[in-house]
Structure 1
Amino acid sequence: MKLCYFSLLLTFGVLAGAPALQAQKRVLAPAPAHAPVQPARTELPLTASESEVHVQPLPFDSTVVLLVGRDRPLSNKTTFAFQQYDQGLRLRNNTPLEIPDEFDFNRMCAEGNTVYALFTSRSMPGRLLAAAYNGHLGQVRTQQFETRLSREIVELKALEGRLFATVLLNDQLHVTALLLNVATGQMQYLSSIYEPLPTQFTFVADAASRRAEYVLSQTNGRKSRLLLKQLTEQGQLVSSEFVQAESDRSLITAQLTPPQDTTARLLMGTYSLRDPNYAQGLFATDLRATAGTGTKPPLRFYDFLRLKHFFDYLKPARRAKLRERTERRVARSVPPLRWRYRLLLHELLPQPDGGYVLVAEVYYPHYRYNSYSSFPGALAGGTTQMGSYGSNSRVFDGYQTTHALVCGFDRSGTLLWDNTFVVENLRRRKLEEAVRLQTLPDGRLALAYLDEEKLRYKLINRAESSPNDHHVPIQTGSGGGAAGAERISDTSQSDVMPWFGSRFVASGYQRVHPANGPPREVFFMNSVVF
């Protein structure tokens, strides 16, 4: 799940008679044994300036659904369609979607083989349109909602045919949850979920247990705690409980184990010392009462310095200095160093051994500076009739990720191991997951992200050290590296997402230059198999 930060930093359809370029079987050059292969690729003749494509993998039936919008010629209108591709990335269904011109795409999610897309109105604040695509039947249903009070949709999940949307309200001071029934058109605000900014939300939803569980942060500016709320699929509150630390530690945010796991109920997240904006380490706890005593186990805290690999992103000399400095503080009984890290938590991933893996991307806001030099007309003292000159302007430039922390826990919440994927060139405008994870059949974890035309990856075997610099090129139609191979000059809006088994699907816009002939601009999808 994406972690929601409520600060305000925060068709193409295949045209009739014009099918997409067919998925192509690939013949790859020899590669290391651990390198992924790319057995299939599909290209759509689209440009980023005249289209929009949103990708939703469906592990349930091993297909991929695209929501594709294409600008109409000589018009400001867009035509949409759902396209469904099989595991060989061959087009299976192309279903047109009628969207009124006032709506823009906002979010997409899936449940089983149904994909939901949510659109927001440009002309009427609070007006939403939801589209549900049934991948089994190839049918689409749409429903419009007049929410009136909602301003921005920041997270979306589906449960039993209903959409749970976390929304920022018009007053820009509160966040709440909105329940949308796409089949009936009914909607309701969930009064049990109503929090002032700044609040962090995470939540999990499960059709088997018919429950949605929220984790909300609450703070008085100096200390923060967590509030857990469990709701039915109709949005009715089932239970709520507070989780807080008795020491000077504050709990920032956390993830819950999925509701369908009835034998474990774990909470894992980040904690701080004094300043609730920055994480000092991880915490974990078993929310179930101990048999015979009725009391719950205490929270376990893991300072980042206790982790084996957290500081792998630093150069060796700097890591050594940090360890020495900390050891001296411990010897003098001086309070621990205060870290200033921000972490984006992924949903907990169940493991074959019954435990869970927690992935957290470590990031910071990145800024660029614009400087303005003097120009004719400057007055004495460095001013002009229009004001001062030579000043700097700081402009937010996205969120920069330094590394992804990966930790394994047992079913009681005990930390078993940790590892780190050190990344480079990873910056995005929105605070959303960028490093993706799949569990391989042999128990290892594959982490991956796209950097221009490269797929960067790391294979993790618990706490074992392994290289952070593995990468393979995204393959085009003629393969990579061979004589006459195609060349990629530009890649944009790229992403890689977990699909099914040990597969990812990589996608984005590319400009591809063949050895002979003119270049082509395409939206691509590649199957990536570890």
Structure 2
Amino acid sequence: MNIRYLSLLLSFGVLANAPAAHAQKPRKSPPPANAPVQTARTELPLTAANSEVHVQALPADSTVVLLVGRERPLSNKVAFTFQQYDHALQRRNEHPLEIPDEFSFMRMCAEGTTVYALFSSGSTPGRLYVAAYNGRLGQVRTQQFETRLSREIVELKALDGRLFATVLLNDQLHVTALILDVATGQMQYISSIYEPLPTQLTFVADAATRRAEYVLSQTNGRKSRLLLKQLTDRGQLVSAEFVQAESDRSLITAQLTPPQDTAARLLMGTYSLRDANYAQGLFATNLRSTTEVGTKPPLRFYDFLRLKHFFDYLKPSRQARLRLRTERRIARSVPPLRWHYRLLLHELLPQPDGGYVLVAEVYHPHYRYNNYGSYIGPFNSLGNQYGYPGTINSRIFDGYQTTHALVCGFDRSGNLVWDNTFVVENLRRSELEEAVRLQTLPDGRLVLAYLDEHKLRYKLINRAESSPNDHEIPIQTVLSAADTDAERPIETSQADLLPWYGSRFVATGYQRVRVEHGPNREVFFLNSVVF
């Protein structure tokens, strides 16, 4: 049979029954050793086009609370409900929530078993609406607040039944803090927190001590320092102190250990060399370890090059060239290389040995380009905490791209003990918020993880030991091993991963699921992932 005749037979389907390589199902690669298991899944018949779902995991009672908004029939208005799911992701409670039509969801946080949802008015600037859902009592309380001056809520935390909100003001030039008392309906601006942009601000709150502590960055355009302020749960200033470097280093931003730790008061963050936009490395100090009266505790600085794993995201050959170049500069007594990294710091995580773990996501603004005219946003589209998307010279801001997550272990004195890095892929988000999640395992190891569409990517970290960065498992639509081939996700959106309780995460998002012997379905899913 000549080649031309054979091709004719193939084109008319004469050999349609012959085995073809492309008709075979691809083999599934086995999961990594000690891979997490998915013990429960719940699906809600919702689509991203006609609903919104906001998820809050509650480690305090091993439940998950959802704020579900659905479009009302024949209307563009949204009806909200609180739904609570138990440790097996079975629905326990559902409570309708009446939200006036002028309000849109902004942020959500929790304290113990109470979840707070904050909404902002689209018609009256500064008008806020708060709903508090107590899962233990099954009760919902709501309050409306007329803040007048607030424009955007940047961060939200609960302390002893009150909400502490970091607020961008209407003038778009200042940031302050606001307390909302949901029980009484009273509100107040914290007069001691009023800073000009581009101030960066972090804070920790603790109900046991009824304290909130703020870390604010201040700059004169050449150098920057940190201002620490401790307040009561009612916003009264208890103490204030400056922390600054005496050398040419500037302190960019930092995190404090929680107020309930009375034995150590650690401050850990990033520093720069002259340019406060970019981090050169990490610094740490124990604010309680003064050797003499009036003596400031020493600051310890760790250039990124001193860390064992920071540059793991680079190819080995490029790492070697970088270190060789640095060694040559040191030999010639030339100033060190200036790094151009931006870091988003997570809150410090206490460890069983009394130390703390700091996680920092290394990111950069991502842009796409077009041929249209340019527009410059209100301020700082380059990744400031309060920046707005915009375009510069036909560049359109397209979110924040994470390259890797740095994780460091410190002892109780603030000394760096070890470091490691999780190299990530396809991790971009529209707002500057945490994307890589951390959980402590029973054996003391740490797991860093995130969702990449319908894949869970993760890394197991045992202090400074090297380990694979490419572990991944699919988010299962069917938990029975016998039925996993019967369906698969074909599209996943708004995927997120939240630390839950024990060694568990809860994975969430919208999915379109292809079913082999039935109609496809669109759902919002919750999956329990156990390491």
Match of 1:120 in 2: 120
Match of 2:399 in 1: 398
Q: Does structure 2 retain, via aligned residues, the 8 Å contact 1:489–1:512?
A: yes
CA distance in 1, matches of 2:339, 2:481: 43
Q: Does structure 1 retain, via aligned residues, the 8 Å contact 2:32–2:472?
A: no
Match of 1:264 in 2: 264
Secondary structure at the counterpart of residue 324 of structure 1: helix
The answer to whether 1:502 aligns with 2:503 is yes
- Deviation string 1:320-349 (CA, Å, 9 cap, x unpaired) is 100000000000010000000000000000
Match of 1:169 in 2: 169
Match of 2:417 in 1: 416
Match of 1:46 in 2: 46
- Deviation string 1:213-235 (CA, Å, 9 cap, x unpaired) is 00000011110000000000011
CA distance in 2, matches of 1:95, 1:322: 58
TM-superposed CA distance for 1:487, in Å, is 1.3
- Which blocks of at least 5 consecutive residues in structure 1 are unaligned? 1-27, 374-390
Question: Percent of aligned pairs with the same residue?
Answer: 83
Q: Which is further off, 232-241 or 364-373?
A: 364-373
CA distance in 1, matches of 2:331, 2:530: 49
What residue identity is the alignment partner of 2:310? F
Secondary structure at the counterpart of residue 105 of structure 2: strand
Q: TM-score, normalised by structure 1?
A: 0.90
Q: Does structure 2 retain, via aligned residues, the 8 Å contact 1:479–1:486?
A: no
Match of 1:9 in 2: none
The answer to whether 1:209 aligns with 2:240 is no
- Which blocks of at least 5 consecutive residues in structure 2 are unaligned? 1-27, 374-391
User: 1:273-288 residue pairs with structure 2 within 5 A?
Assistant: 273-288=273-288
What residue identity is the alignment partner of 2:111? E
TM-superposed CA distance for 1:305, in Å, is 0.2
Secondary structure at the counterpart of residue 317 of structure 2: helix
Match of 2:87 in 1: 87
What residue identity is the alignment partner of 1:418? D
Match of 1:522 in 2: 523
Secondary structure at the counterpart of residue 414 of structure 2: coil
CA distance in 2, matches of 1:245, 1:372: 45
CA distance in 2, matches of 1:434, 1:80: 26
What residue identity is the alignment partner of 2:487? E
Match of 1:316 in 2: 316
Match of 2:438 in 1: 437
- Deviation string 1:384-413 (CA, Å, 9 cap, x unpaired) is xxxxxxx97210000000000000000000
Q: Which is further off, 281-290 or 94-103?
A: 281-290
What residue identity is the alignment partner of 2:344? L
CA distance in 1, matches of 2:460, 2:266: 26
CA distance in 1, matches of 2:192, 2:261: 24
Match of 1:457 in 2: 458
Match of 1:21 in 2: none
Q: Does structure 1 retain, via aligned residues, the 8 Å contact 2:456–2:473?
A: yes
TM-superposed CA distance for 1:485, in Å, is 2.7
Match of 1:486 in 2: 487
Match of 2:220 in 1: 220
Q: Does structure 1 retain, via aligned residues, the 8 Å contact 2:40–2:479?
A: no
What residue identity is the alignment partner of 1:95? H
- Deviation string 1:20-54 (CA, Å, 9 cap, x unpaired) is xxxxxxxx997444210000000000000100000
CA distance in 2, matches of 1:392, 1:282: 33
- Deviation string 1:439-482 (CA, Å, 9 cap, x unpaired) is 10100000000001100000000000000000000011255796
CA distance in 1, matches of 2:319, 2:144: 55
Secondary structure at the counterpart of residue 321 of structure 1: helix
CA distance in 2, matches of 1:211, 1:442: 32
The answer to whether 1:183 aligns with 2:176 is no
Aligned residue pairs total 486
CA distance in 2, matches of 1:182, 1:168: 21
Match of 2:377 in 1: none
Match of 1:365 in 2: 365
The answer to whether 1:229 aligns with 2:229 is yes
- Deviation string 1:260-285 (CA, Å, 9 cap, x unpaired) is 11111000000000000100000000
What residue identity is the alignment partner of 2:223? K
CA distance in 1, matches of 2:30, 2:428: 31
TM-superposed CA distance for 1:295, in Å, is 2.8
Higher relative contact order (CA 8 A, sep 6+): 1
C-alpha RMSD over aligned residues? 1.7
CA distance in 2, matches of 1:246, 1:312: 31
Q: Does structure 2 retain, via aligned residues, the 8 Å contact 1:29–1:480?
A: no
TM-superposed CA distance for 1:291, in Å, is 5.5
Q: Does structure 1 retain, via aligned residues, the 8 Å contact 2:507–2:529?
A: yes
Q: 1:242 to 1:421 in 2, by over 3 A?
A: same
User: 1:104-119 residue pairs with structure 2 within 5 A?
Assistant: 104-119=104-119
CA distance in 1, matches of 2:325, 2:480: 50
Q: TM-score, normalised by structure 2?
A: 0.90
- Deviation string 1:82-104 (CA, Å, 9 cap, x unpaired) is 10100000000001100000000
CA distance in 2, matches of 1:146, 1:392: 39
CA distance in 2, matches of 1:301, 1:482: 54
User: 1:241-390 residue pairs with structure 2 within 5 A?
Assistant: 241-290=241-290, 295-371=295-371
